[in-house]
Structure 1
């Protein structure tokens, strides 16, 4: 991890309207790990009656974005420059999913993050890798 000061949890911006719409909750947020949970509802199902891949990716992106923020140096933002998801098994309506994000690399310019999403039975539903780029905003 960088020796630059990072952000504290109280600096975290409010969740996006979209993640709130999906009912995503951040249950743990420390630089080493972010955990998010989401209950699969009928509205999230695809035409096959299981969780839509876009909803799964939104859960992963929320966990990764939160982890990137908490690991970002003060006065620096970040953006996703690469995201890849492996869909391993389905999640059904009523399942509760837990996304655990770990920062694999926190460098001077980039972060590499891995999110593992599991059902309540402990079986992995998907794994997402993301690369984020630190950005200094200029007005």
Structure 2
């Protein structure tokens, strides 16, 4: 089972990532790169995109990177630094890179760039590996 196949299976059931409009650009073991377009319903009351959108977008990239070896992994700890505001119409690219791949934990850094290649946010995620498959092998 390839990392791409595993992420394709995750995306089929991931209704929130589908709602975000995520497009998967690249998948490799411990790595993901995804894209999305920011829509008006993602605005907060201050006229900028809600921080939860950038967090959720990063979290999806994190999930795709840490689960694509078919070892079900869940977040233990995450943090995000918002560096630039995000606006309606922006195109965002999130890139998740594995910093540590342990037997029971993994550490990932996710960067989001906008269409001008400006760094919008940096997300760090630590995951726990359950040892269970994400996608059960077919017989």
Q: Shorter-chain-normalised TM-score: which range?
A: 0.7 to 0.9
The CA distance in 2 between the partners of 1:24 and 1:51, in whole Å, is 16
| Residue 126 (structure 1) aligned to one of 121, 128, 131 | 121
The CA distance in 2 between the partners of 1:79 and 1:11, in whole Å, is 15
TM-score by length of 2: 0.87
The 8 Å contact of residues 116 and 128 in structure 1, kept in 2 or not, is answered as: yes
The CA distance in 1 between the partners of 2:82 and 2:116, in whole Å, is 17
The 8 Å contact of residues 105 and 112 in structure 1, kept in 2 or not, is answered as: yes
The 8 Å contact of residues 27 and 35 in structure 1, kept in 2 or not, is answered as: yes
Gap change, CA 1:39 and 1:17, over 3 Å in 2: same
| Residue 62 (structure 1) aligned to one of 60, 74, 83 | 60
TM-score by length of 1: 0.87
Which blocks of at least 5 consecutive residues in structure 1 are unaligned? Answer: 1-5
| Residue 10 (structure 2) aligned to one of 2, 8, 14 | 14
User: 2:83 matched to which residue of 1?
Assistant: 88
The 8 Å contact of residues 111 and 123 in structure 2, kept in 1 or not, is answered as: yes
The 8 Å contact of residues 49 and 93 in structure 1, kept in 2 or not, is answered as: no
Which blocks of at least 5 consecutive residues in structure 2 are unaligned? Answer: 133-139
User: 2:97 matched to which residue of 1?
Assistant: 102
User: 1:45 matched to which residue of 2?
Assistant: 43
Q: Secondary structure at the match of 2:96?
A: strand
Q: Which has the higher helix share?
A: 2
Paired positions, count: 130
